[in-house]
Structure 1
Amino acid sequence: MYPPSIARDRPDALAYVMAASGASLTYRELDRRSNRLAHFWRANGVQPGDAVVIAMENNLAWPVVVAAGMRSGLYVTPVNWHLNAAELAILMTEARPAVVVTSTALAPTVVGAADALILCVGESSEGCVSFEEALATMPTTPISGELLGARVLYSGGTTGRPKRFAQKLLGVHPADAPRRHSELSERLGIGPDTVLLSPAPNYHAAPFTFGLIVLAAGGTIVCMEKFDAAAAMAAIVDHGVTHSQWVPTMLVRLLRMRGRESVALSPTHRVAFTSGAPCPVSVKTDIAEWWGPILHEYYGASEGYGHTYIAPDEARAHPGSVGKPLGSTRIRVVDEDGRDVAAGVEGTVCFEAGGSLKQMGDIGYVDADGFLYLVGRRGFMIISGGVNIYPEEVEEALLSHPAVADVGVIGIPDAEFGESVRAVVELRPGVEADSASVIAHAREHLAHYKAPRSVVFTTDLPRLPTGKLDKRGLVNRFGQPTGNGEK
């Protein structure tokens, strides 16, 4: 991502647009503003190899900060802005930033958590330097000795404490940056004419990574301030979106809009892709019936160990698969002793690249054609009567119930079986169902031992800002043998 490479030929091309407000940056503006910010950092002692932490909501300053960091040789480190001061302080201690960029709303939390130069986007806040004032007097030309920065991500580990993953600083000029995920980008058709709708928080791995990819290609990012299904459908039409990026939960919520007269489809929308969790077959089928065969899926770790990809036509032929590995990466499925298992046999999913084997923490299998299928996460597997039950399989079955809008499945303590299966269900608006019908539906689609033994109804399943189901939050709220709303 090096704005001058685009600004030279297409200075007025839109680089970034906020979906709701329409506020935007051209590539010329992105180039100049990121230069100003890089100069301010340099003037205040920020050097290559230092870290810049981004702790703020989706806004128009995001691409400026990322571009400035990527042309200053910094570790560009977005963090979850929903964290409290104590949680944020832990990340700050590990990241050791020289500079933090935040917003007016979050500045008090950040000031209490970080010992660094803090810039505030929006109204000035105590302990911070105004972002706009910092840029105002700085040159619009590049700093001397520009160097390519590196992406840093925090991903949730099985312990619940985020893990830091930093790419290497390559010591090259940003104009010489290697292409990111080149094969995946080619499969998705990302280029200068791409207009990507990004509906998730920018600190999450996929929006951050694809922001870099699309801007490096000279395309346009249409960034939602926050996800809303109706607003997302409107943004696709209003901004001429060609590509869109989702997690499966978003697709479930979008499908609730299907059939409404106020929801129009756009002829420009030719590619949609999903990641973050396996997309249920029923969701893919329904999206294809509504949007046409445009939904692609990829799977991989935030740490960048490797990726798999499946195209819409492959998904029809291999329902439930997350695809084949891209590039030189190999997929291996191993048993508890680290030995490869046969096709069709479940085990721990690993990526192998360059002689290094990385476990993903997922349980899955590879079919005879080399397509990977995920069964569930090892950390949330339910063991009932000595039998392994994967929540994702039960969730997918329950999502096909006509009254179920959303569902999370967990294990709860059981004196007889060790654990039993509980479904936490959100019903569709205006539709009624009882626990008996939910359990019966599960038994129609699954072996009886996998069906929930109890059902809790709620109106607010806990979700992470990325849209993923918050399994730890679900267990904390609904993981006891009795609870509010159980039927």
Structure 2
Amino acid sequence: MYPPAIATEHPDSLAFVMAASGSSLTYRQLDEQSNQLAHLLRSRGVTAGDSIVLVMENRIEWPVVVAAGMRAGLYVTPVNWHLGAAELAALLAEATPAAVVTSGSLAGAVADALPGGHTALTLCTDPAPGVEHLAAAIANHPRTPIADERFGARVLYSGGTTGRPKAFRQKLLDIHPADAPTRHAGLALKLGIDSDTVLLSPAPNYHAAPFTFQLMTMAAGGTVVCMERFDASAAMTAIAAHGVTHSQWVPTMLLRILALPDRSAIALSPTHTTAVTSGAPCPVEVKEQINAWWGPVLHEYYGASEGYGHTYISAAESADHPGSVGRPLGGTRVHVTDDAGTPLPTGEIGKVWFEPPAAAAYVNAGDTATSAGWKSMGDRGYLDEDGFLYLAGRESFMIISGGVNIYPEEIEAALVRHPDVVDAAVFGIPDPEFGEQVKAMVELREGVPGDATTAADLIDYCRGCLATFKAPRSIDFVDRLPRLPTGKLNKKALRSHYFANS
């Protein structure tokens, strides 16, 4: 995303709009303000190869900071602003940023989390005591490009299996931003992302998919409509109010939208022709219900912050391959192997590997790869005869009960199909006889009693559509399941109580 490429021809076109407040940036403003920030960074000793960390909520300043970092050859590092003090401190210690941009509500936490003795230029989007105000700091700097523009790189963090920050750093290419290769060109083409695109981005900006889809849209000269925070009703309102053409979701958001009361009274916008779900496999029934309501518009995209590869499936293909996350994009290949690395035949569940094209391959910190360059994100799944990938679950959450592998996602999908269930989480808890047993936690629709009768009914329902050994042994009911801001279930938090008391 290089703002001058759009600003030269369409300076007054909207680049970024906040859905609720209406605050906006044109491509001219984005170009000028990102240049000013790049000049400020250089004047403070921030050079190509340094890191700039973003610790802030979804705000209008977000694309300015990202564009400045991408024009100044920096490692652009968005982080989860919900992190606790110790988690943020560990991440900043790993990142060693030369600059940090934060908000007024988070400035104190950032100051406390910076490693002792480490000096970083800290800028705040709001006037705050003891911290430089971003707008004031860049005001007197040139609106033209810095002399040494270089293309930056994205860094994303994952907690991994240890909870410690794990960085996935793209390569820094020693090229001018105008010469940067187009990322995800194949996906953008399939989704029809172009200068007429108006993308609704309802998720936290620091997550991989929103970050990617926003950059894709702005690289094409389209408009990003960014929600300050997700709300199902507000999202439907924003689609109509802003003339949204494309939207990007995680499955739990679609569940919340489907749970809206009196859906028949919600006017659908004729401009909204393409929706994308990512972040976690989307249950078949959710896709079917969305497509029945919105029309056949829901596509699915599977990938991860590691960036090893991606798959895609269209709304039409989903009808013929229900439950699949698609086929690989570009020159990437997908393999499924047993635990010893031996390729498995069609239909057999094993470990999913991406084999990126040699020209596109790069190494991330902490990569696990075979000698052939295959890379895995820890997912289990299988391929069908047409090469479509189906995910069975994460290795880290697979339940082993009596020596049998059980995949929670399959059971969660079954529970969500029940008309009384809004959301469900399934995981293994200690069992003295079988090692682990299947536990479910369920969020019920309003008015449904969370009692023993309902639990028994749901267990019987699962036994009717799954193998008996996969059905939950017990079900607990909660008002709201703990999901991360990205929409993923926080299963570590759910399991910790049961393991602590085992």
What is the TM-score with the length of structure 1 in the denominator? 0.97
Any residues of structure 2 matched to 1:111-122 within 5 Å, and which? 111-114=111-114, 115=118, 116-122=120-126
Letter in 1 for 2:267: A
Q: CA deviation at 1:178?
A: 0.7
Gap runs ≥5 in structure 1: 483-487
User: Are 2:171 and 1:152 aligned?
Assistant: no
Q: CA deviation at 1:476?
A: 2.1
Q: What SS does the aligned partner of 2:67 have?
A: helix
Q: What SS does the aligned partner of 2:146 have?
A: coil
Q: CA deviation at 1:438?
A: 1.1
CA contact (8 A) 2:94 2:165 kept: no
Would you say how many aligned residue pairs link Structure 1 and Structure 2?
Answer: 481
2-structure distance, mates of 1:39, 1:105 = 26
Any residues of structure 2 matched to 1:367-378 within 5 Å, and which? 367-378=384-395
After superposition, what is the alpha-carbon deviation per residue over 1:261-280, rounded to whole angstroms, capped at 9, x for unaligned?
55221100000001111100
User: Are 2:241 and 1:221 aligned?
Assistant: no
Q: CA deviation at 1:87?
A: 1.0
Quote the residue 1:91 is aligned against: 91
Quote the residue 1:485 is aligned against: none
Identify the match of residue 125 of structure 1 among 125, 129, 143. 129
Identify the match of residue 457 of structure 1 among 469, 477, 483. 477
2-structure distance, mates of 1:204, 1:156 = 13
Any residues of structure 2 matched to 1:432-443 within 5 Å, and which? 432=449, 434-443=454-463
Q: What SS does the aligned partner of 1:322 have?
A: coil
Q: CA deviation at 1:182?
A: 0.6
Quote the residue 2:33 is aligned against: 33
Letter in 1 for 2:38: A
Identify the match of residue 189 of structure 2 among 170, 186, 189. 186
Letter in 2 for 1:66: V
Any residues of structure 2 matched to 1:66-465 within 5 Å, and which? 66-114=66-114, 115=118, 116-126=120-130, 128-257=131-260, 259-260=262-263, 262-353=265-356, 354=358, 355-432=372-449, 434-465=454-485
Q: CA deviation at 1:258?
A: 6.3
Distance 1:435 1:481, change over 3 A: farther
Letter in 2 for 1:475: R
Any residues of structure 2 matched to 1:39-58 within 5 Å, and which? 39-58=39-58
Q: CA deviation at 1:480?
A: 6.5
Q: What SS does the aligned partner of 1:230 have?
A: helix
After superposition, what is the alpha-carbon deviation per residue over 1:399-446, rounded to whole angstroms, capped at 9, x for unaligned?
011111101001111111111111101011123352111111111111
Identity rate, percent: 63
After superposition, what is the alpha-carbon deviation per residue over 1:125-156, rounded to whole angstroms, capped at 9, x for unaligned?
32x21111111111111111111111111123
Q: What SS does the aligned partner of 2:390 have?
A: strand
Is the deviation greater in 107-116 or in 227-236? Answer: 107-116
Is the deviation greater in 345-354 or in 390-399? Answer: 345-354
CA contact (8 A) 1:413 1:480 kept: no
Letter in 1 for 2:12: D
The RMSD of aligned alpha carbons is 1.3
After superposition, what is the alpha-carbon deviation per residue over 1:319-369, rounded to whole angstroms, capped at 9, x for unaligned?
111111111111100011101011111110000122410022111111111
CA contact (8 A) 1:410 1:479 kept: no
2-structure distance, mates of 1:349, 1:260 = 38
Q: What SS does the aligned partner of 2:429 have?
A: strand
Q: What SS does the aligned partner of 2:375 have?
A: strand
Letter in 2 for 1:71: R
Q: CA deviation at 1:481?
A: 7.2
2-structure distance, mates of 1:306, 1:298 = 11
